[in-house]
């Protein structure tokens, strides 16, 4: 009798915990940011969620993140449910001891020695883009600057890493990459793992995006192979990659590098750029501080790699945006052997969730955690723990493009703010966040822009009193 009671109780406990877990996934999928914000109040460092035979662990402590990403990184591999193609064989998705083999292809062209050349190319593109934005924003037309920023970064990346002039016909890559990121998140958080041939909403979003990226990458490769011109760029390095034994790597690997590098190099930084500008435009004091620095730097035509490196206040703004709105807001890993962390037993094959969003706003590590204060990064020791701020990840798979991002994003911000008066609509409404694989501003970045007339510096006062109809180029809202 007591055995039957015990078994029944076990069944009920299991059943209830399964219901609890499904509820978690459902709410998490519906509004991840709200849900994470609520969980923050409970101050639990490790939370276990069991879904069917799989355990998920939400790790909300910098010490634990350091263990997973850095100290014990060989035990943890990347999880990319849904991106079978890229699994383990690309720069972005490889982990463990594979990273070292894979990273050698990306590192050289992301090293600082190339930055002066990249800066020249960026200035060329920006000059064209400034003129285009000027035309686009004539007559006080309201534009969603967010999409323009995505497109500008796509053009910069195309020129720098693929030596290719991308144009309006490639804009679709921005929209589809964005939708693909939303689809991938849905796939990652679905309780049922639908095969790709089932036309679920998530599968369609991801597969459409993949098809557009496929076409772009295949054309890119074909054009390069048939070209007689020599290019010393990242595309060249990827297409000529050799393994440790000196043999060419399979074509599939090369494709996978490009497939994962494309969103990593333009879409992720574009989200950071958009949030940074969004915050700067809301605060006149911050804008004025920035212009003090811009005045020291001089006009964009003469800006050097060193100027961009030494723009500490601008970097403070970018870092603060990366803290509050980390584009990669949740990093995941799967452990390939069982492990005990912080006295918690983590069975082999569990999914580890490390939410940048939560840790970056934890009051234990940040004063006034929800306020945008670039000054906090100007202090000598801004971090209470090295992993209390990890927008670029950490350990051996830490983002290889982070230094480049700190050249490209500040250059675009400097350029836009010195060339235009930008007025943000709905300035007093809080920024609403939404998430796919990357975090983005749900309402976009709706602005009126007016070209500054003569002296682009010393002129940080926005034009006021315009009355406009909103003509959104494309709604971000899903
Ligand atoms: C603000 C801009 C950026 C942010 C927030 C960002 C964020 C990240 C994060 C969090 C990771 C680690 C992923 C993981 O370990 O699971 C990562 C990896 C990576 N990022 Fe970035 N990234 C940015 C810009 C860039 C740029 C501009 C490039 C290329 C030009 C790039 C290329 C890569 C690559 C190749 C990896 C894979 C590294 C590895 O797994 O070993 N990223 N990035």
Per-residue pLDDT reduced to its tens digit, 88-109: 455 555 555 555 555 678 899 9
CA-only gyration radius of the chain, Å: 23
Best of 68, 112, 260, 399 for a ligand 1 pocket test (most atoms within 8 Å of beta carbon) = 399
Nearest CA to ligand 1 atom 25: 401
98 token code pair: 């594979």
Summarize the confidence of residues 418-435 as an average pLDDT: 96
Q: How confident is the model at residue 79 (pLDDT cuts 50, 70, 90)?
A: confident
Place of tokens 């799989």: 54
Decide: 397 in ligand 1 pocket, CB within 6 A: yes
**pLDDT attached to residue 471:** 40
Whether 99 is in the pocket of ligand 1, judged by its Cβ within 6 Å, is yes
pLDDT of the residue at 52: 62
Q: What is the CATH number of domain 31-451?
A: 1.10.630.10
Residue 216 has pLDDT above 70, yes or no: yes
> Closest ligand 1 atom to the C-alpha of 92?
37
Query: Of 349, 391, 297, 319, whose CA–CA distance to 51 is shortest?
Result: 349
Q: Is the CB of 78 under 6 A from ligand 1?
A: yes
pLDDT above 50 (res 468): no
Q: Which of 279, 274, 301 is nearest to 289 (CA)?
A: 279
Residue 201 CA to ligand 1 center (angstroms) comes to 27
pLDDT, residue 45, reads: 86
Beta carbon of 64 within 6 Å of any ligand 1 atom: no
- Is 204 exposed, middle or buried, given 0-12, 13-18 or 19+ CB atoms closer than 10 A? middle
Q: Please report the beta strands in 400-462, taking only residues with DSSP state E, as ranges in sequence order.
A: 420-424, 433-435, 439-441, 446-451
Does ligand 1 come within 6 angstroms of the Cβ of 346? Answer: no
Mean pLDDT, rounded, for 235-254: 90
> Minimal CA–CA distance to 415: which of 441, 449, 448?
449
Local structure of residue 450 (DSSP, 8 states)? E
422, with CB counted inside 10 A (0-12, 13-18, 19+), is buried
Closest residue CA from atom 8 of ligand 1? 392
Pocket flag, ligand 1, residue 330 (CB < 6 Å)? no
Q: Given strand 76-77, what is the order of strands in its sheet?
A: 46-51, 54-59, 351-354, 331-335, 76-77
- Domain boundary assignment for the chain: 31-451
Cβ burial of 434 (10 Å; 0-12, 13-18, 19+) is middle
Q: Which residues contact 104 (CB under 8 A, 6 or more apart)?
A: none
Q: Which of 273, 330, 401 to mutate to test the pocket of ligand 1 (most atoms within 8 A of CB)?
A: 401
pLDDT at position 474 is 45
Give me the helix-helix angle, 312-324 and 284-297, nearest 10°: 140
Does the pLDDT at position 465 exceed 50? no
Nearest to 291 by CA among 421, 406, 122: 421
What mean pLDDT is predicted for residues 442-466? 71
452 is written with which tokens?
């500054």
- 90 Cβ below 6 A of ligand 1: no
Quick one: pLDDT at residue 476?
45
Atom of ligand 1 nearest to the CA of 93: 40
Three-class HEC string of 420-434:
EEEEECCCCCCCCEE
Q: SS3 for 22? A: helix
| pLDDT per position as a tens digit, 109-137 | 999 999 999 999 999 999 999 999 999 99
Provide the pLDDT for residue 80: 64
Q: 441 forms bridges with which residues in the sheet?
A: 433
* Residue 303 pLDDT > 70: yes
- CB of 98 sitting under 6 A from ligand 1: no
Position 463 pLDDT exceeds 60:
no
Higher-pLDDT residue of 359 and 9 is: 359
Say if ligand 1 is within 6 A of residue 80 CB: no
Query: For 69-73, 200-204, 455-459, which range has the lowest pLDDT when averaged over its residues?
Result: 455-459
Residues 6+ apart with CB under 8 A from 18: 50, 51, 52
Per-residue pLDDT tens digits for 395-412: 998 999 999 999 999 999
């Amino acid at each position: 009798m007591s055995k039957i009671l015990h078994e029944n109780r076990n069944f009920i406990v299991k059943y209830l915990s399964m219901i609890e877990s499904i509820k978690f996934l459902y709410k998490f999928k519906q509004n991840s940011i709200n849900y994470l914000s609520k969980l923050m109040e409970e101050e639990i460092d490790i939370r276990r969620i069991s879904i069917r035979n799989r355990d998920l662990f939400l790790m909300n402590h910098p010490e634990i993140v350091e263990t997973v990403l850095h100290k014990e990184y060989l035990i943890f591999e990347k999880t990319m449910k849904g991106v079978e193609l890229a699994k383990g064989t690309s720069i972005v998705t490889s982990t463990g001891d594979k990273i070292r083999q894979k990273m050698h292809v990306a590192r050289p062209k992301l090293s600082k020695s190339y930055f002066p050349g990249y800066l020249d190319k960026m200035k060329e593109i920006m000059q064209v883009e400034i003129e285009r934005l000027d035309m686009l924003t004539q007559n006080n037309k309201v534009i969603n600057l967010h999409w323009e920023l995505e497109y500008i970064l796509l053009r910069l990346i195309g020129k720098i890493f693929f030596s290719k002039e991308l144009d309006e016909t490639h804009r679709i890559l921005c929209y589809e990459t964005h939708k693909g990121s939303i689809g991938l998140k849905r796939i990652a958080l679905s309780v049922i793992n639908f095969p790709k041939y089932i036309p679920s909403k998530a599968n369609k979003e991801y597969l459409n995006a993949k098809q557009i990226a496929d076409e772009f990458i295949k054309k890119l490769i074909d054009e390069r192979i048939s070209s007689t011109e020599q290019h010393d760029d990242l595309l060249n390095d990827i297409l000529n990659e050799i393994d440790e034994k000196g043999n060419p790597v399979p074509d599939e690997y090369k494709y996978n590098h490009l497939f994962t590098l494309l969103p990593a190099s333009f879409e992720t930084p574009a989200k950071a750029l958009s949030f940074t500008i969004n915050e700067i435009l809301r605060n006149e004091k911050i804008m004025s501080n920035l212009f003090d620095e811009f005045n020291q730097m001089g006009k964009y035509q003469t800006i050097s790699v060193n100027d961009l490196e030494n723009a500490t206040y601008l970097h403070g703004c970018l870092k603060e945006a990366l803290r509050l709105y980390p584009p990669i807001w949740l990093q995941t890993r799967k452990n390939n052997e069982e492990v005990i962390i912080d006295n918690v037993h983590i069975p082999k094959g569990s999914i580890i969730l490390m939410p940048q969003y939560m840790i970056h706003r934890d009051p234990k590590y940040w004063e006034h955690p929800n306020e945008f204060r670039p000054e906090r990064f100007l202090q000598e020791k801004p971090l209470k723990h090295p992993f209390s701020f990890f927008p670029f990840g950490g350990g051996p798979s830490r983002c290889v493009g982070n230094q480049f991002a700190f050249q490209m994003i500040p250059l675009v911000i400097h350029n836009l703010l010195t060339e235009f008066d930008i007025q943000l609509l709905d300035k007093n409404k809080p920024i609403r966040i939404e998430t796919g694989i990357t975090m983005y501003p749900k309402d976009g970045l709706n602005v009126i822009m007016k070209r500054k007339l003569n002296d682009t510096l010393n002129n940080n006062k926005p034009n006021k009193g315009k009355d406009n109809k909103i003509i959104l180029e494309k709604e971000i809202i899903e």
